């Protein structure tokens, strides 16, 4: 905790100019996206396993609070992706290190160039939606849904702390969690390679879900983005079902796309979370507990996401969602 406080105060005091702020923004945008990702993968699995809850989650995404959050999320992903690309390219090209300052300016300009038309596209959907005088989910309902996630985080953290204390007492270890050096080096390369692979996948996903069709159109009737299937009843569950059932030459392209995105983004994001934790949590008890929670969290999220992709949206789930609309 003391390390975190020192980092915040020193970050504000230290005049490291653009490089320092590029790093701070990269860290905050990465952490913000990981937080969203955890909620999002669990939410999405409800389309297959808890259709009523999925309809509720999408209704919450369509409320003003989440509309503001959506703009922040897109800004985080776009800046983090473009700055991540700069880090990855320059790390492999030491002969270009003299251009660091210019490269950071290019990142800011490119971020603005990508965000401007994206925000205009998103704002168009927002205006259309709000002009239709929609009904909003109340703040109380939103807090109730999100409280489940807070309880989940607390349970995982308490369990990890208890296990770490028991482990410390039995082994007498006064060390946090350390990975073998060669494995750390592999993860370092993975962060760069996965980042480059994630970029087109996540930009494609965001283009479909924010610009082309938009988060409000998940519950509209008509052809579902990236498919030739119609969402006849305008339920969110059928939207996901249509995308996962879309076949091109017998191949469920969006299930494969989502599966790749899921695996890459979870391992990248949670390993990034591990870097942040190891920078601030030096107490062995906390360090072990947080590292274990991160490893468990990443595995659990991949299992839940993949299980939903494999199960798909069956007729019972679609029917449940349809009845909810009536
Ligand atoms: C508010 C913004 C977003 C919306 C409305 C949205 C919407 C959706 C929807 C409807 C699906 C269901 C499957 C499909 O249609 O392909 C999905 C799946 C997925 N999304 Fe997003 N998405 C958003 C942002 C993101 C971001 C920023 C990421 C990455 C960090 C992401 C990662 C994923 C993954 C990994 C899956 C597959 C989940 C699973 O297998 O259960 N999404 N998203
Ligand atoms: C879209 C393309 C992306 C690129 C090109 C990219 C690139 C990078 C790079 C190069 C790093 C630095 C790794 C290191 O310090 O060794 C990094 C860190 C990180 N990334 Fe990404 N990333 C991308 C997407 C994402 C997404 C979608 C998430 C969240 C799910 C995420 C979360 C993080 C986190 C939490 C860190 C650690 C930040 C820190 O140590 O300060 N990244 N990313």
State pLDDT tens for residues 157-194: 999 999 999 999 999 999 999 999 999 999 999 999 99
Closest C-alpha among 241, 239, 216 to residue 315: 241
pTM: predicted TM-score of the whole model, two decimal places: 0.94
What are the two backbone dihedrals, phi and then psi, of residue 308, each rounded to the nearest 5 degrees? -65, -40
Q: Which residue has the higher pLDDT, 18 or 151?
A: 151
Tell me, using a 6 A CB cutoff, whether residue 267 lines ligand 1. no
Q: How many angstroms is it from 186 CA to the middle of ligand 1?
A: 27
- Average pLDDT of the residues in 314-325: 95
Cβ < 6 A, ligand 2 pocket? 26-27, 30-31, 33-34, 37, 77, 80-81, 84-85, 87-88, 188, 191-192, 195-196, 198-199, 202, 265, 268-269, 272-273, 275-276
The pLDDT value given to residue 13: 65
Q: CA distances (Å), 122 to each of 77, 207, 209, in order? A: 15, 10, 10
pLDDT of residue 10: 67
Task: Give me the CATH code for the 17-325 domain, please.
Answer: 1.20.1300
Say how far apart CA 221 and CA 239 lie, in whole Å: 9
Asked if residue 77 has its Cβ within 6 Å of ligand 1, the reply is yes
Gap from CA of 205 to ligand 1 centroid (Å): 7
pLDDT, residue 16, reads 59
Residue 216 to residue 123: CA distance in whole angstroms = 11
pLDDT at 219: 95
132 vs 224: CA distance, rounded Å: 21
| Dist CA 117 CA 223 (whole Å) | 24
| Strand, coil or helix: 74 | helix
Indicate if ligand 1 lies below 6 Å from the C-beta of 242.
Answer: no
309, 258 in Cβ contact below 8 A?
yes
Predicted pLDDT of residue 6? 74
């Amino acid at each position: 905790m003391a390390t975190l406080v020192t980092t915040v105060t020193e970050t504000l005091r230290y005049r490291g100019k653009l490089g320092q702020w590029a790093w701070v923004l990269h860290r905050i945008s990465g952490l913000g996206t990981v937080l969203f990702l955890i909620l999002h993968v669990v939410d999405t699995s409800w389309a297959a396993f808890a259709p009523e809850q999925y309809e509720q989650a999408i209704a919450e995404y369509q409320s003003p609070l989440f509309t503001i959050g959506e703009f922040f999320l897109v800004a985080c992903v776009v800046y983090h992706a473009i700055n991540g690309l700069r880090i990855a390219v320059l790390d492999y090209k030491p002969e270009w290190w003299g251009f660091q300052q210019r490269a950071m300016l290019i990142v800011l300009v490119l971020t603005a160039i990508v965000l401007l038309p994206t925000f205009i596209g998103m704002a168009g959907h927002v205006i259309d939606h709000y002009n239709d005088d929609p009904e909003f989910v109340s703040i109380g309902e939103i807090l109730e849904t999100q409280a489940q996630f807070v309880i989940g985080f607390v349970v995982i953290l308490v369990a990890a702390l208890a296990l770490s204390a028991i482990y410390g007492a039995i082994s007498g270890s006064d060390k946090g969690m350390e990975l073998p050096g060669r494995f750390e080096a592999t993860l370092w390369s993975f962060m760069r390679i996965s980042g480059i692979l994630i970029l087109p996948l996540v930009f494609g996903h965001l283009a479909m879900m924010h610009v082309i069709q938009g988060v409000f159109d998940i519950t509209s009737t008509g052809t579902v983005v990236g498919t030739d299937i119609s969402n006849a009843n305008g339920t969110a569950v059928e939207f996901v079902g249509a995308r996962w059932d879309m076949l091109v030459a017998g191949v469920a392209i969006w299930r494969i796309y989502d599966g790749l995105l899921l695996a890459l983004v979870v391992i990248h994001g949670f390993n990034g979370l591990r870097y942040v934790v190891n920078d601030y949590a030096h107490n062995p008890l906390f360090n072990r507990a947080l590292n274990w929670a991160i490893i468990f969290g990443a595995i659990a999220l991949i299992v839940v996401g993949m299980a939903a992709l494999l199960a798909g949206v069956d007729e019972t789930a679609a029917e449940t969602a349809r009845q909810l609309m009536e």
